[in-house]
């Protein structure tokens, strides 16, 4: 694909996301602030050592809301990106232009996946900052940050499932995609304490990777029948 | 011939989702036969008494199956049900030629050990209590004790930084005591409501067991064992008022009590396997009962019990078998589960606190294969009934789809219906 085409496709994504694309970032900041204030209050009442020890011993995940921030961000960004592509037969038109269909579809997918992963990095850094501001030792903070990894993958799945659902012409397949997405999010969002997937996260990454190709299915069906 | 990569991806994600969803829903729908049992040695009759809970019914029996009333069962375990004995006016009572009032009867201890606890990695964040506080009770320490590969660190939580002078003092004590890093185990009871503090137990790189205490701000280190038993996995500081023993130790196949003199007393826990067994230890002034129960889908032996006298000599053993009707029901439940999905993706183990990604194979291969053939026939019938809706595909596509359903059963059939043709003999459209 030529550089000129690539920059046009990136510009198209920017046009779609520039107005409302920042909403998940603000939501993440609000949830992190809420996490900080909650912990700050508990630590002020019970003492930091007792609070930190309670969190470590019970492996209490006090930042569980972040899972739904990732999932919500994935759904929101996918709708922003794919609805303008697919309404009023625009997708059919795009795919019949003399351009590589994989490139036309691949750019929104790449931007969506990179956006969710970047949000994951930002949220991880934000959580580490919250912990550092509260004086939590890094030994404690690191497993908490790593806990976000599968949730970030859940955000990627939410993006891909929503995008595939929007692009898919068949209603039955739309329902099947939503169901599969919900099951994956529930699998990736399952946690028992911090860094619960420490030995198995490569397998979760492996079974999540095919989702990146799923949005192409419905779209290519429009072209190929 | 052209493989549709995105449709293969859709097939894969649908298969994974359904292989997780269908078996988990089926397991929840069929999990109705709750059963639990407790076996305890009665110091009154010197025989085991059994309490079995099946759904809403609770049955009390002796070892040979003689039914007992609730009251008779409790009267046979006067240390466990001492409050009932007091209510019935049966205290003091006499057992093994000795008389016990309520206070003496209260000198009991119950310890439970689960495979989740045994197989969990020790926490790198702990506390060390002041063992000799000024007041009557222990108070929660203000600082944390961090365990790194190179040593222990005293962490001042108010400053949010390592307290270097205290850390240096602590490390001098550890170096002098011969502790080699990295530690392979560390345990402390962090509950400030405990009756007294017995310090922390740590196992160093040379497998030596040490006890670390803080007494009036001074660190005290004691080498308790030159070497922990082979296969050591876990220890717990008990800090019970009876002070009969200091800690409970578990290796991969055995349990030990560590007494205050530093001696290890092996507990003959029949059939104990740390990877799958839950153990309980019930101690009374006249003896002990150790029970071991394995986690698993259908173990023929439900629980193994060993009774010891006050000198830790085995006096009786028994194995309580799982009721046959329960085993039969579970076998049929699993067979029908194999019909629905030949593989199940499981995330949780009853023996671990972690999340996994595991493919569970079928329990009965014949039932699984029968189910897969049934779903294949239904799939073919569905395709033939609606030839206009299903794209006419190449023979190769049919063969690939049928092979996937023969291996993957219902999840594969539904995934194939969702994904459509996986292989095409048409060239890619321009």
B353 — contact with chain A (CB < 8 Å)? yes
Instruction: Give the model's confidence band at B159: pLDDT under 50 very low, under 70 low, under 90 confident, else very high.
Output: confident
Compute the distance between CA of residue B346 and CA of residue B297 in angstroms, rounded to an integer. Answer: 13
CB B422 within 8 Å of CB B8: yes
Q: Tell me which residues of chain B, numbers 183 to 202, contact chain A at a CB-CB cutoff of 8 Å.
A: 190
User: Among positive and negative, which fits the CA dihedral B361, B367, B369, B372?
Assistant: negative
The CA-atom distances, in angstroms, between B243 and each of A104, B132, B250, B258 are: 74, 17, 19, 11
Q: Mean pLDDT, to the nearest integer, of B77-92?
A: 94
Element (H, E) at B119: none
Verify whether the Cβ–Cβ distance A184 to B13 is below 8 Å.
yes
| Neighboring chain A residues of B353 at a CB cutoff of 8 Å | 59, 192-193, 196
| Neighboring chain B residues of A187 at a CB cutoff of 8 Å | 20, 345, 347
pLDDT in tens, B102-114: 999 999 999 999 9
pLDDT value of residue B188:
93
| Neighboring chain A residues of B158 at a CB cutoff of 8 Å | 48, 135
- Best to test chain A binding among B5, B13, B161, B386 (most A CBs inside 10 Å): B13
Q: Which residues of A188-198 are buried (b: 16+ CB within 10 A; e: fewer)?
A: bbbbebbbbbe
Compute the distance between CA of residue A59 and CA of residue A66 in angstroms, rounded to an integer. Answer: 16
pLDDT value of residue B351:
84
Instruction: Give the model's confidence band at B312: pLDDT under 50 very low, under 70 low, under 90 confident, else very high.
Output: confident
DSSP state of B275: T
Verify whether the Cβ–Cβ distance A223 to B429 is below 8 Å.
yes
What stretches in chain A show pLDDT beneath 70? Answer: 1, 224-225
Is the complex ipTM higher than 0.85? yes
What are the φ and ψ backbone dihedral angles of B221, each rounded to 5 degrees?
-115, 135
pLDDT value of residue B275:
86
Compute the distance between CA of residue B37 and CA of residue A200 in angstroms, rounded to an integer. Answer: 34
Verify whether the Cβ–Cβ distance B125 to A139 is below 8 Å.
yes
The CA-atom distances, in angstroms, between B1 and each of A149, B65, B428 are: 39, 70, 10
Q: Mean pLDDT, to the nearest integer, of B253-261?
A: 90
B427 — contact with chain A (CB < 8 Å)? no
Kindly report the CA angle at B150 between B147 and B155, in degrees rounded to 5? Answer: 40
- Closest-CA residue of chain A to B429: A224
Q: Cis peptide before B92, with omega less than 30 degrees from 0?
A: yes
| Neighboring chain B residues of A221 at a CB cutoff of 8 Å | 420
Verify whether the Cβ–Cβ distance A198 to B155 is below 8 Å.
no
Of B6, B142, B418, the CB nearest to A176: B418
- Closest-CA residue of chain A to B154: A137
Please tell me the number of Cα atoms within 13 Å of B220 on its side-chain side: 14
DSSP state of B392: P
B150 — contact with chain A (CB < 8 Å)? no
| Neighboring chain A residues of B414 at a CB cutoff of 8 Å | 176
pLDDT value of residue B428:
64
pLDDT value of residue B33:
64
Instruction: Give the model's confidence band at B427: pLDDT under 50 very low, under 70 low, under 90 confident, else very high.
Output: low
- Closest-CA residue of chain A to B12: A210
Lowest mean pLDDT among A149-163, B15-29, B240-254, B415-429: B415-429
pLDDT value of residue B32:
65
pLDDT in tens, B165-185: 999 999 999 999 999 999 999
pLDDT in tens, B366-423: 999 999 999 999 999 998 886 555 555 678 888 999 999 999 999 999 999 999 888 8
| Neighboring chain A residues of B14 at a CB cutoff of 8 Å | 176, 180
- Best to test chain A binding among B356, B418, B419, B426 (most A CBs inside 10 Å): B418
Gap from A3 CA to chain B (nearest CA, Å)? 21
With a CB cutoff of 8 Å and minimum separation 6, the contacts of B18 are A180, A183, B341, B410, B411, B414, B415
With a CB cutoff of 8 Å and minimum separation 6, the contacts of A158 are A70, A71, A72, A73, A74, A75, A78, A116, A181, A185
Rg (CA), chain B: 29
User: Among positive and negative, which fits the CA dihedral B58, B62, B68, B71?
Assistant: negative
Of B8, B123, B354, the CB nearest to A192: B354
pLDDT in tens, A195-225: 888 889 999 999 999 999 999 888 777 776 5
Verify whether the Cβ–Cβ distance A192 to B348 is below 8 Å.
yes
Sheet containing B67-68: order of strands = B35-42, B47-54, B57-62, B67-68
Gap from A65 CA to chain B (nearest CA, Å)? 19
Compute the distance between CA of residue A67 and CA of residue A73 in angstroms, rounded to an integer. Answer: 10
What are the φ and ψ backbone dihedral angles of A205, each rounded to 5 degrees?
-60, -45
With a CB cutoff of 8 Å and minimum separation 6, the contacts of A219 are A91, A95, A101, A105, A167
Of B7, B123, B158, the CB nearest to A56: B123
- Grouping H, G, I as helix, E, B as strand and the rest as coil, residue A92 is helix
| Neighboring chain B residues of A183 at a CB cutoff of 8 Å | 17-18, 20-21
CB A60 within 8 Å of CB A140: no
Q: Which residues, listed in sequence order, are joined to residue B36 by a DSSP beta bridge?
A: B53
């Amino acid at each position: 694909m030529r550089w000129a085409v690539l920059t046009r496709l990136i510009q198209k994504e920017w046009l779609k996301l520039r107005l409302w694309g920042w909403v998940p970032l603000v939501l993440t900041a609000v949830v992190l602030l809420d996490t900080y204030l909650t912990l700050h209050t508990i630590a002020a009442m019970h003492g930091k050592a007792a609070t930190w020890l309670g969190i470590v011993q019970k492996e209490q995940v006090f930042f569980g809301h972040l899972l739904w921030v990732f999932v919500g961000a994935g759904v929101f960004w996918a709708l922003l990106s794919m609805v303008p592509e697919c309404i009023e037969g625009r997708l059919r038109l795009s795919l019949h232009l003399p351009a590589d269909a994989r490139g036309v579809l691949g750019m929104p997918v790449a931007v969506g996946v990179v956006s969710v992963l970047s949000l994951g990095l930002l949220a991880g850094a934000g959580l580490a900052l919250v912990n550092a501001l509260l004086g939590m030792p890094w030994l404690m903070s690191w497993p908490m940050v790593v806990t976000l990894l599968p949730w970030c993958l859940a955000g990627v799945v939410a993006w891909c499932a929503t995008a595939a659902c929007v692009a898919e012409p068949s209603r039955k397949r739309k329902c099947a995609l939503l169901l599969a997405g919900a099951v994956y999010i529930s699998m990736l969002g399952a946690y028992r304490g911090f860094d619960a997937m420490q030995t198995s996260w490569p397998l979760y990454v492996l079974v999540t990777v095919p989702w990146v190709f799923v949005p192409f299915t419905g779209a290519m069906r429009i072209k190929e029948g | 011939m052209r493989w549709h990569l995105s449709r293969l991806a859709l097939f894969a994600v649908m298969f994974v989702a359904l292989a997780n969803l269908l078996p988990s829903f089926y397991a929840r729908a069929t999990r109705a036969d709750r059963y639990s049992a407790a076996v305890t040695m009665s110091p009154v009759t010197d025989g085991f008494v059994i309490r079995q809970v099946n759904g809403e019914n609770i049955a009390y029996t002796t070892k040979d199956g003689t039914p007992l009333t609730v009251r008779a069962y409790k009267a046979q375990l006067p240390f466990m049900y001492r409050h009932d004995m007091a209510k019935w006016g049966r205290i003091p009572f006499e057992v093994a030629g000795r008389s016990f009032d309520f206070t003496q009867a209260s000198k009991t201890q119950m310890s439970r050990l689960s495979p989740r606890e045994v197989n969990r990695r020790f926490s790198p964040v702990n506390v060390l209590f002041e063992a000799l506080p000024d007041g009557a009770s222990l108070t929660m320490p203000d600082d944390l004790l961090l365990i790194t590969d190179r040593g222990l660190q005293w962490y001042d939580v108010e400053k949010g930084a390592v307290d270097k002078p205290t850390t240096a003092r602590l490390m001098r004590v550890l170096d002098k005591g011969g502790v080699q890093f990295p530690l392979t185990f560390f345990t402390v009871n962090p509950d400030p409501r405990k009756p007294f503090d017995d310090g922390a137990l740590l196992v160093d790189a040379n497998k030596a067991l040490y006890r670390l205490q803080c007494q009036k701000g001074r660190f005290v280190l004691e080498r308790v064992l030159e070497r922990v038993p082979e296969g050591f996995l876990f220890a717990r500081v008990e800090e019970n008022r009876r002070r009969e023993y200091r800690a409970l130790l578990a290796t991969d196949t055995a349990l030990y009590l560590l007494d205050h003199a530093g001696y290890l007393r092996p507990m003959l826990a029949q059939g104990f396997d740390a990877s799958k067994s839950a153990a309980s230890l019930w101690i009374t002034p006249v003896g002990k009962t150790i029970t071991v129960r394995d986690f698993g889908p259908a173990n023929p032996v439900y629980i193994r019990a060993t009774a010891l006298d006050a000198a830790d000599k085995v006096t009786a053993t028994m194995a309580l078998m799982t009721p046959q009707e329960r085993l039969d029901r579970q076998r049929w439940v699993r067979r029908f589960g194999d019909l629905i999905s030949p593989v199940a993706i499981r995330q949780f183990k009853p023996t671990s606190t972690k999340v996994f990604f595991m493919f569970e194979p079928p329990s009965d291969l014949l039932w699984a294969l029968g189910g897969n053939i049934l779903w294949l026939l239904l799939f073919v019938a569905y395709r033939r009934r609606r030839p206009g809706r299903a794209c006419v595909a190449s023979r190769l596509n049919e063969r690939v789809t049928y092979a996937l359903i023969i291996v993957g059963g219902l999840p594969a059939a539904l995934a194939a219906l969702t994904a459509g043709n996986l292989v095409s003999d048409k060239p890619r459209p321009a």
